[in-house]
Structure 1
Amino acid sequence: MAKPKVTNDRFRVSSLLGDRLRERKVSVAEVLHEAGLPPHFLDQKKIHASTAQLFALWEAIGKVSGDPGIGLELGAEPRFERFDPPQIAAACSRNFRDALKRIARCKILICPEEIRVHPRGEETTVEFAFLNDECAEPDVLVDVCLSWTLAIGRRGTGGKVDAIGLELIRSAEHRELLEEHYGCPIVFGAKRNAIVFRTSDLDLPFITYNEELVKLLSEQLDQEIEAREAELGVREQVKRALKHSIAGKRPSREEVAKHLHLSLRTLQRRLQEAGVTFKQLVQDTRADLARQYLTDRSLELSEVAFLLGYEDPNSFIRAFQDWEGTSPGAWRERNCLN
């Protein structure tokens, strides 16, 4: 089943991308021509692109550069001066877990994209999801995202974080290049693009931690996030907050209000004005996520129940029956052919 589209389709593109391509002797003019974008697209102070434009841009970068490793190289950029504010905030976080949470929250500035962090015992998977994709994500863009995640962990901990697995939708082309870069086993032909870490590594302290800089950047980013969230209805805001907090526990109004920087009374009032209840949005969010998780056959039904905040798998099965009129297992068989 296709992912539900979100109404916003605007990514923020780094204003440094043009310079970074020129440094690598990649013709920006050729890239933009190949992508069907205006000649001065990357010269703007604030660059925004739709999903289609973003994918076309990264496809063109891969084609024009002729370098299968350019995404890995761009993602692993070591120079702080080439980081944008959200990336700097992540690098200056307290630990790897905090960095992932911080960048995930900042993604609201460059929606529609999410960072999904799935803890499963001793392993934690980090997945980048593009919410309005009607075609496959360009390999170069996937490389940038996953390589950047590993680089932030390694940089912050002084090289103590290692990837222990990689899942790629693509075929096994350039296997040696990818294995050398990530230093871990790779599953090709997977159902998602994701990188796997030891859960314990997420709590390793960052030697790059800078409390004052994080505070300064966070204040700036919070202002931008608040402005962006003002464009969204309360329904979408609450569902976004629930998706980030629902795994392994019963969602609460208090936690969602805190995530949205609202008082509990203000949240209740806005829900009432929108004609929707918190319970209804919890159920809607769980239903959306359930369909997403069930497409991953590596997840047992009990694990899906946990990720949706159910203490008892049977409660999840009964709820899913109400949503879809069938059991989770039957839905998975019907909708996931592979």
Structure 2
Amino acid sequence: MKRKWLLLCFLLFLFAGCSLKDLDKRFFVVSMGIDALEEGTKKYRVSLKLAIPSPKIVPGKENFQIITEDANSIAEAVRNAKSKVDKELDFAHAKVFVLDEDIPKADMLDIIDWFTRRRDIQEISWLTIGRPSAYDVLKVKPKSERLPSNALFLTFGREGTESPYIITTYLFDFYRRLHEKGLDPYMPVTEARKGYFLIDKVALFDKKGIKLVLNRHDTRILNELMTSFEKFSIKVKDGGLLYYINIENLKITYDLQDRKNGSGLDIMITANLTGIVEEAQKNISPDAIPHLEKLAAKEMDGRLSKVLKQLQQQELDPIGFGERYLASHYNKDEDWKKWKELYPKAVFRIQTQVKLESSGTIK
């Protein structure tokens, strides 16, 4: 019996050493920004956006604090930032990480590696490029925002707005694309404006850093190619008249075909779209529907071809054609070398079919 009491006292002694901190002794980091600094100074400026709890949740009245620290590594900056606050920094609620587009290519790999190694950072966090800087993006305070950084959470999570110009990327997916052959990473570009964010471009990466930033129109088309995003419109010209077709359903499939003589590769792309006429400059008769469908299919072919050739010229592959090629071949190293020779010369063969379900409702 005496031994049992001694064992129980020993266990209680161990439990008494628990280092867990209560919620009121923690600062929750909701978003984080990393900017590159000029040569001759520290490498990074790390900004932490800390949420300050409030008894009332009122749009435009959220409270937050931004702590900045210059250092030569992210880990060093975070440790130094702790000396500026009175509570423990907690990254469990950090869901958006904003990076400066001027961060050197080699440093980008180190930063992503730090994100993935920390056990308290969620792998489903979102990554974005910040303009003019990551710090400027963190400072934006939208009038409709009820909680710190919630505007970005709603945007990237598509729980609020659903825009064809917004392409999102998760931390786990970006890390995978950095290391996976035949699949290149990308990030949306978030521009800080007075009281709101503008997110309508995407930055494309090779395995080292940013190589190309698409404009808003090409970003929308890439979103259609990668995710079959459905809520977009096609502008169709017929003589001097303009029609706008709202696409309600989109399905895109790919197929890679080696030519029989071994001289090259054809990338077959099939796009099936259904929609309605959303805007027209004249009344549309039922007999005119097939003609509009052909014009819309031709317009879609041109849009897809333009972006695909732009990616091909830069030797970028965010869609994953190379990954699909390797999956259908069985000699990994030789096939990868062969793919790098084939992709710059591959021919895109696009087939689009558009079906208009209605010419719109006229009351």
More helix per residue? 1
Shorter-chain TM-score: what band? Answer: under 0.3
TM-score, normalised relative to structure 2: 0.26
TM-score, normalised relative to structure 1: 0.27
Larger Rg: 2
More strand per residue? 2
The structure showing larger relative contact order (alpha-carbon pairs under 8 Å, at least 6 residues apart) is: 1
